[in-house]
Amino acid sequence: MRKTLIASAVAGTLSFPALVWAQTAPAPAAAPAAPAAAPAAAAPASPHTFTGNVGLFSQYVFRGLSQTNEDPAVQGGLDYSHSSGLYAGTWASNISWLKDSGLYNSSSMEWDFYGGFKGTFGSSDFTYDVGFLYYYYPGDVAPGFIKADTQELYGALGWKWLSAKYSYSIDDTFGVPNSDGSWYLDFSAAVPVADTGLTVNAHYGIQTFDGSTNGVSNDDAFSYDDWKLGVSYALPQSFTVGAFYTDTDAKRASYTINNKFIGDSQWVVFLQKTF
């Protein structure tokens, strides 16, 4: 903020002749300083924020299940948020599980769309988040199967580095027939390690399927728990590198694709950039 000051004028003395002696005239009063320029008004902060992310993962694991048959995945998303708490975004990744399992004749992408409202309870460290998420799987569904597209309503509560999130499916869930009303409960922690740039991440999830298929309970066949433990490290230029271990107690008969159990214990390493 620049301020302009006009220096005070300094008056010199003037001499006048007299009959007997010379008298020096008094110096004139200093000119008043000009008022400082008013500071420029700061531009109001925009209520709109746009962010993005892109990452390379050794595989894509969702709720403990490999979505890419343990092959690498490229993922990325764009997000918009408003200062009121409203937000919306989209995210995508390559997948292979729908084609590998025979549910789709062709499918290689998961494309998600979501929106909601989040904020804090007063000036406390407690937060809330409510919204809607649509999982879209473009491709050609195989005869006799249903689309894997899934719609979920969710609500979450958080405190500093702890969070709990409940997701409720309002239609058939990930290709399982008659499974509306299925839900997923996620307990997570992201604990920073002092000022090292390291963050320790932990997660426990419960996936429950409702309904039945051909007289067989979807809960008995497909419900499971999963857990994850990992670490991430913040790099310059908004890069993050990390690794995590994940496992489930899913039933092998329900989650074996091409003779590979996709709910088995496995490691994931990744490099991600936000912008």
Q: Residue 216 is part of a domain; what is its CATH number? A: 2.40.160.40
- Determine the Cα–Cα distance for residues 215 and 212; give it in Å rounded to an integer: 6
- pLDDT tens digits in sequence order for the chain, 275 residues long: 333 333 333 333 333 333 233 333 444 445 555 566 666 667 789 999 999 999 999 999 999 999 999 999 999 999 999 999 999 999 999 999 999 999 999 999 999 999 999 999 999 999 999 999 999 999 999 999 999 999 999 999 999 999 999 999 999 999 999 999 999 999 999 999 999 999 999 999 999 999 999 999 999 999 999 999 999 999 999 999 999 999 999 999 999 999 999 999 999 999 999 99
Q: Can you give the pLDDT at residue 32?
A: 56
Neighbours of 220 (CB within 10 A): 11
Residue carrying structure tokens 């003395």: 13
Domain count, the chain: 1
For the chain, the C-alpha Rg in angstroms (whole number) is: 32
Q: How far is 113 from 135, CA to CA, in rounded Å?
A: 7
In angstroms, the CA 126 to CA 154 distance is 17
Cα distance between residue 267 and residue 61, in whole Å? 9
12 in any annotated domain: no
In a domain, 145, yes or no: yes
Q: Could you write out the three-class secondary structure of 164-190?
A: EEEEEECCCECCECCCCCCEEEEEEEE
C-alpha to C-alpha distance for 119 and 67, rounded to whole angstroms: 32
**Residues 166, 171, 172, CA angle at the centre, nearest 5°?**
105
Please give the pLDDT value at position 26: 45
Cβ atoms of 268 and 47 within 8 Å: the answer is no
Q: Distances from the Cα of 109 to the Cαs of 88, 103, 104, 135, 137, in angstroms?
A: 20, 14, 12, 10, 6
Residue 127 within any structural domain of the chain: yes
pLDDT at 80: 98
Q: Are 32 and 26 in contact (CB under 8 A)?
A: no
What is d(CA 80, CA 131) in angstroms, rounded to the nearest whole number?
Answer: 14
Give me the domain span that covers residue 159. 52-274
- Write down the pLDDT at residue 91: 98
Has residue 35 been placed in a domain?
no
Assess if residue 102 is contained within a domain.
yes
Spatial contact of 181 and 167, defined as CB atoms under 8 Å apart: no
pLDDT of residue 39: 64
Determine the Cα–Cα distance for residues 20 and 270; give it in Å rounded to an integer: 100
Residue 241 belongs to some domain of the structure: yes
In a domain, 120, yes or no: yes
Tokens matching residue 173: 């869930």
At residue 139, the 3 state secondary structure works out as coil
Residue 42 is predicted with a pLDDT of 72
Residue 231 lies in a domain: yes
- pLDDT for res 147: 97
Phi, psi of 222, deg, nearest 5 = -120, -15
Residue 39 CA to chain centroid, in angstroms?
A: 38
